Each structure stands twice: as C-alpha cells, then as structure tokens.
Amino acid sequence: MERAKILIVEDEIAISDLLSYSLNKEGFQTMTANTGAEGLRGVEQFQPDLLLLDWMLPDISGLEVCKKVTATHNLPIIMITAKSDITDKIVGLEFGADDYMTKPFDVREVAARIRTVLRRLAQGSQPIEESGPSVLQFKNIAIIVEERQVKKDGDIIELTPKEFDLLMKFYQYRGKIFSRTELLDFVWGYEYAGDTRTVDIHIQRLRKKLDLNDIIATVFGVGYKFEKRFG
C-alpha cells in the first residue's frame, strides 16, 4: 500500500526533524521545508497528500502560504503554531486551513489527526450511493463526485476538502436541519478543541464561492440546512 505523503513546513529544525522522524515511523512518507517559499515549491515537486504548516515562517507567513495553496490545490492543511487564542485559530481556518494544533504537541496526536483528515477525504471521494450519479447538479452548480470537483456556470471553483465535504453532506441530506455541533463532528471526526464558529466560517466561504445564500439556509437557534427544492 502506498504511503501517504506529508509535507512539513516548519522553520524550527528540531521540530521539523522530530515530526519527520515520528511520522515516518507511523508509516507516512515525509518531506520537510524550512521557509514558505520552499514549502510552496515542495507542494509542486512532492505532490503531498497533506500539508503540515507552521504559522510563523522567516520569509512569508504560514497564512499566506495557506492562502496560496488553497487557491490552486485541493490539499488538506493542518496548521501548527504557538498561537493559542481562538481568534487566531479562526483566522487560520478563514485562510483555508482544515485543522489547527498548538505547540507544544504530542506527535501521536499529530499522526492521529492526519489519519482522520485523510480518512475523511477518502470517504468524501466516494459517490453518495454506489448506483448514484457521478455528476450532481442543482441550479448552475455541477458536482463531479469522483473528481471532488465543483463547477459554477461551467467554471471550476476551488473548494478546500472541508468545504467540499460540507457541500456533499448538505446535498446528500437535502432538507435536513443540522446543528453546528453535528456538522463540526462530521467535518473533523473527533472532539474539536475550538468552537462551532468554525462551522460558520466554512459555510460563509462555501456560500460566497458558489453563491449559495438562498440554498444553504440558516435555521436560527439551530443550525443550517440545504433547501430541498434545489435538490
């Protein structure tokens, strides 16, 4: 079985080496980069399955790297940083990160979170039903399920893995009202250390990218639902 490839972008050599050594022992294949520029080159050259990204880098910020990567790649990103304030975490998620870990961390937890993200990504790449259509359509939106690709008016719209998973979840259960906690559990698959504002941020981005304000409705005091009439 091919090992998942993890690109580690971290300027502290000791932490970078520790992560690389530990993740290799956990069965992953790793590559390290110590600057944002090296990390961006590594994304193209190494073609990783997941990016571990430090917030503070010597040349450009991890947030800027995150923004550049998510604009052109459907690549899950876990940010690792010394920043612990919830506002900082939300900023990272707004820039396209899928998860957030605060230093100091246990490398076993890092490995566990990587597996969770990759498992969710693999599950989300499967068709909703074995006999279901490979292309789902509503209004001017087309979802090419097997390619995890979304088009609006024929143009490809880049979604992060979590945004795509949320869209698929909503479409699969059109008309069902989801609480923020339910959506948070679906997206992350374990007890998240942040709060449900994470869900609001992802849904805001999804609405903006695909113009879904009239389709993904807010149910005040409860959560969100995908309007059934659009399915």
184-216 confidence digits (pLDDT tens): 777 765 545 556 777 888 898 899 999 999 999
Query: Is beta strand 5-9 parallel, antiparallel or unpaired with respect to 50-54?
Result: parallel
Domain 5-124: CATH superfamily is: Response regulator (3.40.50.2300)
Tokens 């490979």 found at: 134
pLDDT band at 129 (very low <50, low <70, confident <90, very high): very low
Residue 217 has pLDDT above 60, yes or no: yes
User: What φ, ψ does residue 17 adopt, rounded to 5°?
Assistant: -65, -40
Mean of per-residue pLDDT scores for the chain: 84
Share of the chain above pLDDT 90, in %: 39
- pLDDT at res. 98: 78
Residue 156 has pLDDT above 50, yes or no: yes
User: What φ, ψ does residue 55 adopt, rounded to 5°?
Assistant: -70, -50
Residues of the chain with CATH 3.40.50.2300: 5-124
pLDDT band at 127 (very low <50, low <70, confident <90, very high): very low
Tell me how far CA of residue 92 lies from CA of 9, 12, 154, 222, in angstroms: 15, 20, 30, 25
- pLDDT at res. 130: 41
Q: Which residue has the higher pLDDT, 34 or 200?
A: 34
Name 194's Cβ contacts closer than 8 Å, sequence gap at least 6.
86, 89, 90, 100
Residues of the chain with CATH 1.10.10.10: 135-230
Residue 90 has pLDDT above 50, yes or no: yes
- pLDDT at res. 43: 95
Share of the chain above pLDDT 70, in %: 84
Can you give the C-alpha Rg of the chain in angstroms? 18
Among 4-18, 82-96, 147-161, name the one with the lowest average pLDDT. Answer: 82-96
pLDDT band at 83 (very low <50, low <70, confident <90, very high): low
- pLDDT at res. 102: 82
- Work out the number of other CB atoms within 10 angstroms of the CB of residue 170: 23
- pLDDT at res. 46: 95
Residue 22 has pLDDT above 90, yes or no: yes
The mean pLDDT of 72-95, rounded to a whole number, is: 74
CATH class in words for 135-230 = mainly alpha
> Whole-prediction pTM value?
0.64
